[in-house]
Amino acid sequence: MIDNDLHRSPEHVPDFSSETWSVSDWRLNAQSNASSLTEVLFEPGWSFAASSDALQPQTFDLATLWHELCARRMRVRDTFSSAERHFAVVERVPVGKRSRAHTRNLEMLTRVLLGQAPKAVAQDMRVAISTLATGMQECLRSMGLPQRASSPPVLLMMAARAAECSDLAPTLGRLTRIKPDDDRYWLVSVERPDLTFPVPLSKAEAAVVRQLISGGTHAEISKRRATSPRTIANQLASAFKKLGVSGRISTVQRLITHRSSARVACAAGLLVTD
């Protein structure tokens, strides 16, 4: 069944023209900084990398990124978002050894990224919820991602889904060399899954959901929108209720499913687009 909103009624496509945050405003990997990456990007800042992505991109199946990260042939140097895309700078590295613990941690991470409730995964794998969180965080760290287990990058979630859900259409992104003569560093990007929503949200609700997905904490979103953290919490709670979700990870999964359904429908000729 195709969601009604796939016909792109205007109420499902909020106006984000007033959102002017730069690609560096919501950097997710707090361990990196522009100056430490100058030798990689020619110049400080991520705006150069993002503009390069649009100039000479190659089509890239995100499933490949997931396989490379799991095999420890790649590590993420940083992740960030713009108003239209999610980005990751990845580095090719010598293949690391995969221990039994890493394999188990990877299974935990994969299942949660695909939308299974952490408590259900912990129960099924017979581990404490704290052990699950620690294992996921160790796995994320091995991929170069210092995020909390509860806040994995959207691009990583989309890559895991692309690799593990073979019944869906391929999730295609862009792959661009950071330097023309160096294949060590690459920029990967994908269209944001929250450019449209499966149900109508108010402009404020849509804006705070997008900023949450981009990596903002409640406090950061509150500061940016010049409103109280309680207001942000209330707006997110209202959006979650409309979307039928309970938090950030389930919100991202809902939006990815929505976008995937739209793409499958387009490919099957079931949806007429402009």
How far apart CA 79 and CA 85 sit, in angstroms, is 11
- Cα 85 vs. chain centroid, distance in angstroms? 9
DSSP string over 98-151: --HHHHHHHHHHHHHHTT--HHHHHHHHT--HHHHHHHHHHHHHHTT----TTS
How far apart CA 189 and CA 186 sit, in angstroms, is 10
Q: Which residues does residue 80 pair with via DSSP β-bridges, in sequence order?
A: 87
- Which structure tokens are listed for 264? 């499958």
pLDDT for 274 equals 40
Give the H/E segment covering residue 218.
helix 218-225
**pLDDT band at residue 201 using 50, 70 and 90 as cut-offs:** very high
Average pLDDT over residues 81-105: 84
pLDDT digits (tens, 9 = 90+) for 209-220: 999 988 888 899
Whether pLDDT at 148 is above 50? yes
Least confident range of 46-50, 194-198, 268-272: 268-272
pTM of the model: 0.76
Whether pLDDT at 20 is above 50? no
Least confident range of 28-32, 103-107, 121-125, 143-147: 28-32
- Which structure tokens are listed for 85? 């895309």
Per-domain boundaries in the chain: 4-267
Is there a contact between 19 and 83 (Cβ–Cβ < 8 Å)? Answer: yes
Whether pLDDT at 132 is above 50? yes
**pLDDT band at residue 171 using 50, 70 and 90 as cut-offs:** confident
Closest residue by Cα to residue 211 from 226, 228, 199, 194? 194
Eight-state DSSP code of residue 94: P
**pLDDT band at residue 95 using 50, 70 and 90 as cut-offs:** confident
pLDDT for 235 equals 95
pLDDT for 105 equals 93
Average pLDDT over residues 200-212: 93
Order of all β-strands in the sheet with 58-61: 58-61, 172-179, 182-191, 85-92, 74-81
What is the end-to-end Cα distance of the chain in Å, rounded?
Answer: 21
pLDDT digits (tens, 9 = 90+) for 249-271: 889 989 988 877 666 555 555 54
How far apart CA 229 and CA 24 sit, in angstroms, is 22
* φ, ψ of residue 174 in degrees (nearest 5): -120, 145
Is there a contact between 86 and 154 (Cβ–Cβ < 8 Å)? Answer: yes
User: What mean pLDDT value characterizes the chain?
Assistant: 77
